[in-house]
Amino acid sequence: MTVAVEKPETPQKTQEPAPPATRVRRVSRRTMVAAILVAWLVLFALLRGKQTLTLAAADLTDLHRWFNDLNDSIGANRNSNPLFLYFFNEIRLVIDNLVTFVQELISQPSGDRPVPQIGWLGVVGITGYVSWAVGNWRVALLAVAGFTFLGLQGLWQESMDTLALTLSAVFVALLFAIPLGVWAGLNDRFNRIVTPFLDFMQTMPTFVYLAPMTLFFLIGPASATIATVIYAAPPAIRITAHAIRSVPETTVEAADSMGATQRQALLKVLLPMSKRTVVMGVNQSIMAALAMVTITALIDAPGLGKTVLQALQSLDVGTAFNAGLAIVVLAIVLDRVTTAASTREEAARKSSGRFLAWRRPLLGAGAAVTAVLVYMSHTYLWAAEFPGEGTTGSKIASAADTATTWAQDNLSGLTNAFRDAITNGLLNPFQSLLTDSPWWLVGAALIGLGVVLGGPRAAITTVVCVGLLVGTGVWSDAMTTLASTAVATVLVMLLGIVFGVWMGRSPLVDRLMRPTLDAAQVMPPFVYLVPFLALFGATRFTAIVAAIVYAAPVATKIIADGVRNVPATTVEAATSAGCNTWQIITKVQLPMARGALTLATNQGLIYVLSMVVVGGLVGAGALGYDVVAGFSQGQLYGKGLAAGLAIVLLGVMFDRITQAAARRTSA
């Protein structure tokens, strides 16, 4: 292996006597990658089909059985174990009370009342008032319009259940996330310790811990909230830590020299200065929580997710779309309000002082009006229950139905040809290379690529991940998943570059496309499974398309940002040198946005991986199917858990390699 890697490197150096140092390294690295791939292909041809570690769908390894037994013994002993009686049950009680309290406030009948304490008018009033107070009047208008739209869709109660659960989960998540984030920001060692745990929490498919969640915390909102907390806390922790770390060192030193204690420095300098970024962490936490809405509906979490899942059972695309749209509306409102909140102080500082003088009385008056609205919605039926039949919702549903039926009838032939081309030309060869090679060959190739692209530290991570992947007993499935994931990422990057460059070069395109990208990211994948199944059948390709819909927006946004950040003077210089548009893009803008491209690849891959389980529902098989099966069948629980671990390992491996590669290219 090493001989094959080193060979092409030496002549390179002798042929070019004095090139710039960076150039040598880049060229040789590319050649080394090529050499690894050639060596892999040669050995694959020789050793095809040997030592592939395949495992049939119903087969288990000892590790899987051990997980099963562990799961069973927890279930059997939960009423006698003190850990349950005094720890898990207490947690559950607290969370359950919190969720029930919020639900009775805005979504569920409370006590003798047939309606919640605050009806729709009150909720809309509070939303508008709070959005205005923390943001500005424009987002307040958006929030009021958005929430009213939820009612018009005929989904008021479902939306409020979702909102109640999201708010409770985000509240609990922040309770832990902000202190932990501050700690991680102040202490590098703690940061290093906590990072792998955060990776784990974000990449482990929720399906894997959904079943144990009900074992620990019973069925219902408490389990759903805790599952959501696990997924929603990491972004807030990471961003808080990042915020604390980005406070300029000179400011901290100045505080120190003034004799501030550590506590004072934290409370008076670090926290206030990082407030803006911390609010962005809250924003990310809310978005992550909303992504869990449909998944937690599988363990009886109330809200819009239930509507989506139930519609899916009878393949009712329209109803599922209507509920999905409500989730998108909620997400957009909450996103815009929190974003406005994070920039409010800056905006306020810029605006004139006269307005500030008026602000206080206006806030007071607003509070009064809101109080009246809340009181009325508490007292009168018309203000408590959203009036009307939600006819907008049924109109949206039937429009969505018509659109999908049209697409299914007219595009099916086209899509099948496209599917077969990608499957036969790209996916199948790649998959057989990964699954039919002996496991040690694939492992060695991955480690080799890790060394070349990411350097020695990334290589160590790769060695550990490959070893653990073999240990999970689902190696072959992991390789199948890896093949689809890689193909999906390639397609994501193609789309990302095309649209990202377009958006980066034209602010108008950017403004037009951004809402669509936001919606694609937040719309629950369960909604578009049915039309995709009709277009592409139950195949691996359908899973790839679903992953692209979810991952391409992120990559596009990052690339657009990178292209926009290329200094205008550089582009002007190239234009005056006579470059045409194509040359500017390929020779100037893309090379200079290389850092953004690597980051986009990294994020694209992670997002694609997070769709593996959804892929398992539409015919992708492999790890995704294993995870879903583990959630559905007791005897496959352990295998599902192992498959979930394998997804995490793939994620960690690629994250470390691409990040190290990004550091090396930008250095």
Partner 1 sequence: MARQARQWRVGVAGIAGAAVIGLTLSACGGTKVGDSSSDAGGSAGSDKCDTFNLAVNPWVGYEANAAVLAHVAEKDLGCKVTKKDLKEEIAWQGFGTGEVDAVVENWGHDDLKKKYITDQKTAVDAGATGNEGLIGWYVPPWLAEAHPDILDWNNLNKYAAKFKTSESGGKGQLLDGDPSFVTNDEALVKNLKLDYKVVYAGSETALIQAFRKAEKNKEWVIGYFYEPQWFMSEVPLKKIKLPEYKAGCDADAEKVACDYPVYKLDKIVSKKFAESGSPAYDLVKNFTWTNDDQNVVAKYIAVDKMTPEAAAEKWVAANRDKVDAWIK
Largest CA distance in the chain: 88
Out of 308, 501, 559, 618, the only residue in the binding site for partner 1 (CB under 8 A) is 618
Residues 440 and 58: their CA atoms lie apart, in Å, by 24
382 binds partner 1 (CB under 8 A): yes
In the bound state with partner 1, the residue whose beta carbon lies nearer, of 466 and 529, is 529
Site for partner 1 in 94-133 (CB under 8 A): 112-115
Least CB distance to partner 1 at residue 577 (A): 48
For residue 386, what is the DSSP state? P
Site for partner 1 in 198-217 (CB under 8 A): 211, 214-215
Out of 220, 455, 471, 595, the only residue in the binding site for partner 1 (CB under 8 A) is 220
For residue 584, what is the DSSP state? I
Least CB distance to partner 1 at residue 650 (A): 19
Out of 266, 486, 628, 653, the only residue in the binding site for partner 1 (CB under 8 A) is 628
Out of 6, 16, 69, 72, the only residue in the binding site for partner 1 (CB under 8 A) is 72
420 binds partner 1 (CB under 8 A): yes
In the bound state with partner 1, the residue whose beta carbon lies nearer, of 15 and 79, is 79
Which amino acid is residue 488, in one-letter code? A
Out of 100, 148, 392, 428, the only residue in the binding site for partner 1 (CB under 8 A) is 428
Out of 175, 368, 498, 573, the only residue in the binding site for partner 1 (CB under 8 A) is 368
Collapsed DSSP state (helix, strand, coil) of residue 598: helix
Out of 620, 643, 648, 653, the only residue in the binding site for partner 1 (CB under 8 A) is 620
Site for partner 1 in 488-547 (CB under 8 A): 529-530, 533-534, 537-541
Out of 80, 250, 314, 580, the only residue in the binding site for partner 1 (CB under 8 A) is 314
Closest CA to 375 of 118, 126, 112: 118
In the bound state with partner 1, the residue whose beta carbon lies nearer, of 212 and 471, is 212
Least CB distance to partner 1 at residue 631 (A): 7
Which amino acid is residue 57, in one-letter code? A
Out of 306, 505, 557, 656, the only residue in the binding site for partner 1 (CB under 8 A) is 306
> Can you give the C-alpha Rg of the chain in angstroms?
27
CA of 212: how far to CAs of 166, 168, 200, 306, 635, in Å? 21, 21, 16, 20, 14
In the bound state with partner 1, the residue whose beta carbon lies nearer, of 216 and 499, is 216
34 binds partner 1 (CB under 8 A): no
In the bound state with partner 1, the residue whose beta carbon lies nearer, of 220 and 471, is 220
Out of 631, 644, 652, 660, the only residue in the binding site for partner 1 (CB under 8 A) is 631
Closest CA to 283 of 333, 329, 218, 319: 333
Outline where 610-636 has alpha helix (H): 612-616, 622-632
312 binds partner 1 (CB under 8 A): yes
In the bound state with partner 1, the residue whose beta carbon lies nearer, of 368 and 577, is 368
Outline where 390-474 has alpha helix (H): 391-422, 428-436, 439-449, 456-472
609 binds partner 1 (CB under 8 A): no
In the bound state with partner 1, the residue whose beta carbon lies nearer, of 42 and 315, is 315
In the bound state with partner 1, the residue whose beta carbon lies nearer, of 151 and 621, is 621
Least CB distance to partner 1 at residue 602 (A): 28
Q: Do residues 117 and 103 make contact, with C-beta atoms less than 8 angstroms apart?
A: no
Site for partner 1 in 442-471 (CB under 8 A): none
Least CB distance to partner 1 at residue 128 (A): 15
Least CB distance to partner 1 at residue 214 (A): 5
Structure tokens at 67: 């997980």
411 binds partner 1 (CB under 8 A): no
Least CB distance to partner 1 at residue 633 (A): 6
389 binds partner 1 (CB under 8 A): no
134-142 long-range contacts, Cβ below 8 Å, gap at least 24?
134/337, 134/340, 134/341, 134/344, 135/336, 135/337, 135/340, 135/341, 135/344, 136/340, 136/344, 136/347, 138/340, 139/336, 139/337, 139/340, 142/332, 142/333, 142/336, 142/337
CA of 493: how far to CAs of 37, 400, 563, 659, in Å? 21, 29, 14, 16
Which amino acid is residue 42, in one-letter code? V
58 binds partner 1 (CB under 8 A): yes
384 binds partner 1 (CB under 8 A): yes
Q: Do residues 87 and 226 make contact, with C-beta atoms less than 8 angstroms apart?
A: no
Number of residues that bind partner 1 (CB under 8 A): 81
407 binds partner 1 (CB under 8 A): no
- Determine the straight-line distance between the first and last CA of the chain, rounded to whole angstroms: 28
Closest CA to 302 of 226, 220, 384: 220
Out of 34, 41, 42, 57, the only residue in the binding site for partner 1 (CB under 8 A) is 57
419 binds partner 1 (CB under 8 A): yes
Which region among 242-250, 480-488, 498-506, 620-628 touches partner 1 (by CB under 8 A)?
620-628
Out of 219, 258, 417, 512, the only residue in the binding site for partner 1 (CB under 8 A) is 219
In the bound state with partner 1, the residue whose beta carbon lies nearer, of 313 and 352, is 313
Q: How many CB atoms lie within 10 A of CB 510?
A: 19
Q: Do residues 655 and 471 make contact, with C-beta atoms less than 8 angstroms apart?
A: no
Structure tokens at 289: 């929580």
In the bound state with partner 1, the residue whose beta carbon lies nearer, of 242 and 639, is 639
Residues 659 and 13: their CA atoms lie apart, in Å, by 27
Structure tokens at 482: 């890896």
Instruction: Indicate if the alpha-carbon torsion angle 622, 624, 625, 626 is positive or negative.
Output: positive
In the bound state with partner 1, the residue whose beta carbon lies nearer, of 6 and 300, is 300
Closest CA to 480 of 640, 643, 639: 643
Show the 3-state SS of 350-367: HCCHHHHHHHHHHHHHHH
Out of 297, 341, 483, 501, the only residue in the binding site for partner 1 (CB under 8 A) is 297
In the bound state with partner 1, the residue whose beta carbon lies nearer, of 267 and 372, is 372
Which region among 45-53, 371-379, 485-493, 573-581 touches partner 1 (by CB under 8 A)?
371-379
319 binds partner 1 (CB under 8 A): yes
Name the residue with tokens 């004072």: 264
179 binds partner 1 (CB under 8 A): no
In the bound state with partner 1, the residue whose beta carbon lies nearer, of 113 and 268, is 113
